[in-house]
Amino acid sequence: MINLLRNKVIIVPAVLLLLALISPFVPSFILLLIIQVLIFGILALSVDLLLGYTGLPSLGQAAYLGMGAYLAAILVDRFEFGLSCDFPLVLVLGILIGAATAAFFGLFAIRATGVYFLIITLALGMVVWGVANRWNSMTGGDNGINVLSRPACGVDLSNDVVFFYVVFVVYSAALGGMYVLVNSPFGKSLMGIRESETRMQMLGYNTWFHKYLAFIIAGGYGGLSGVLWTHLNGIVTPEDVILTTSVDALLMVVLGGPGTLVGGAIGAMVVVGIREYLSTWVEWWQYVLGGVYVLTIYFLPEGLMGLPKLIKKRRPARKSEPPAEASSVET
């Protein structure tokens, strides 16, 4: 059992390492998509912490992505800040503004659960969209804000390969941080809340505060992804903050498997693959995307990450197979 567990954990760094090795050699458009997957992977981590570990389905995570994205763009646009070695500082500021926004929104949202939580986070997300859309003098309104070049500090991030490695490092750190978090006592208490909030309250936990903290951390992750998002596209518009992005993030997690951390990135891979790649081939890509969602929810309640388990369950007769192989697919 311990051996199996170790295998599971080790496969993630192995896959990441492989990704880091092959990425410089993939076609440049594919590389751009990989970066996009990683950025959405970070946003998905924030959704996963809430949905997968705390049991709070947030439909407003795009708001925090938006805060980080607009912060990065406004800093560059107004103060020419964040285009040189001060870029890491912008990443930190992005985390802070996402967390601060979540700390404010959390006051309204955390009191609710289930569908009500979903609706409140949705509404709060739309508030951010509304501000982005209407506050012309600051956000450029409908036109958004252009960021003409990426930061350069010794190395030039305008080079997609360099930018990939930056995003890759940030994603890996974010994933590692989240892994430590969910395995800490705090993470366990969140899972306890997910399973039975009343029981946790009976045990003396201040569940409101635990959820509030989780919400703030998730906001920070959202803000972080936003800063990278701005520099990937070179533009931020209200379109990025709109409900679709929130829904996408939620569905990525559901698709990949909630409560698995890396599941979000896998879900992001599928969604980005269909939305950005398949759409350049066929016009009916939206049906494919819809079909994938429906099929996942019908047949894979645990998402794509639950697939190996499902296969194992379907074939109970083949016990003689070495278990290591099966577990290497599963994470």
Partner 1 sequence: MKRFQSKITGLVVCLAVAFAFTLVSRTAKAEELRIGFLTPLTGFFAQIGKDMRNGFQMYLDEQGGILAGAKIKLIVEDNLGKAGVSVRKANKLIRQDNVHMFIGGLLASTGYALAPVSTRNKVIYIAPISAADDLTQRQKKKYPYFIRTGWTSSQPSHPFGKWACEQGYKRIATIGADYAFGHETIGGFQKSFEDCGGKIVQKIWPKIGTIDFGPFIPLIKRDVDAVFTLMVGGMSLAFPKQYKAAGKTAPLLGGGTSADEFILPSMGDEAIGYVTSLQYSASLNTPKNIAFVKKYRKLYGKVPSYYSESNYTTAQWIHEVMKKTGGKWPGRTRFIEIFSKIRMDAVRGPVYLDQDLNPVQNIYLRKVARLKQFGYPKAELWNTVIKTYTNVSQYGDIGRAKFLKQPVYSRNFPPCKYCD
**Site for partner 1, rule CB under 8 A:** 27-29, 32, 36, 136, 141-144, 146-149, 158, 233-235, 237, 239-240, 276, 279-280, 283, 286
Task: Please tell me the distance from the alpha carbon of residue 57 to that of residue 115, in angstroms, as a whole number.
Answer: 8
Task: List beta partners, residue 145.
Answer: 236
Write the single-letter amino acid at 266.
Answer: I
- Nearest distance, CB of residue 170 and partner 1, angstroms: 20
Task: Please tell me the distance from the alpha carbon of residue 22 to that of residue 25, in angstroms, as a whole number.
Answer: 6
**122 token code pair:** 């949705």
Is the Cβ of residue 136 or residue 201 nearer to partner 1 in the bound state? 136
Task: Please tell me the distance from the alpha carbon of residue 292 to that of residue 29, in angstroms, as a whole number.
Answer: 24
Is the Cβ of residue 27 or residue 322 nearer to partner 1 in the bound state? 27
- Nearest distance, CB of residue 147 and partner 1, angstroms: 8
- Nearest distance, CB of residue 28 and partner 1, angstroms: 4
**235 token code pair:** 């533009």
Is the Cβ of residue 239 or residue 302 nearer to partner 1 in the bound state? 239
- Nearest distance, CB of residue 251 and partner 1, angstroms: 18
- Nearest distance, CB of residue 29 and partner 1, angstroms: 4
Task: Please tell me the distance from the alpha carbon of residue 218 to that of residue 51, in angstroms, as a whole number.
Answer: 10
Q: Do 108 and 78 touch, CB atoms closer than 8 A?
A: no
Which whole-number Å values give the CA distances from 143 to 137, 140, 229, in the listed order?
Answer: 11, 6, 17
Is the Cβ of residue 48 or residue 240 nearer to partner 1 in the bound state? 240
- Nearest distance, CB of residue 149 and partner 1, angstroms: 7
Is the Cβ of residue 76 or residue 99 nearer to partner 1 in the bound state? 76
- Nearest distance, CB of residue 279 and partner 1, angstroms: 7
Task: Please tell me the distance from the alpha carbon of residue 252 to that of residue 44, in angstroms, as a whole number.
Answer: 7
Task: Please tell me the distance from the alpha carbon of residue 106 to that of residue 134, in angstroms, as a whole number.
Answer: 23
Task: Please tell me the distance from the alpha carbon of residue 255 to that of residue 190, in angstroms, as a whole number.
Answer: 22
Is the Cβ of residue 143 or residue 206 nearer to partner 1 in the bound state? 143
- Nearest distance, CB of residue 293 and partner 1, angstroms: 18
Q: Give the list of residues 6+ apart from residue 183 with CB closer than 8 angstroms, or none.
A: none
Is the Cβ of residue 276 or residue 302 nearer to partner 1 in the bound state? 276
Q: Do 222 and 63 touch, CB atoms closer than 8 A?
A: yes
Please report the DSSP string for 278-298 in residue order: GGGT-TTHHHHHHHHHHHHHH
Task: Please tell me the distance from the alpha carbon of residue 69 to that of residue 89, in angstroms, as a whole number.
Answer: 14
Is the Cβ of residue 144 or residue 259 nearer to partner 1 in the bound state? 144
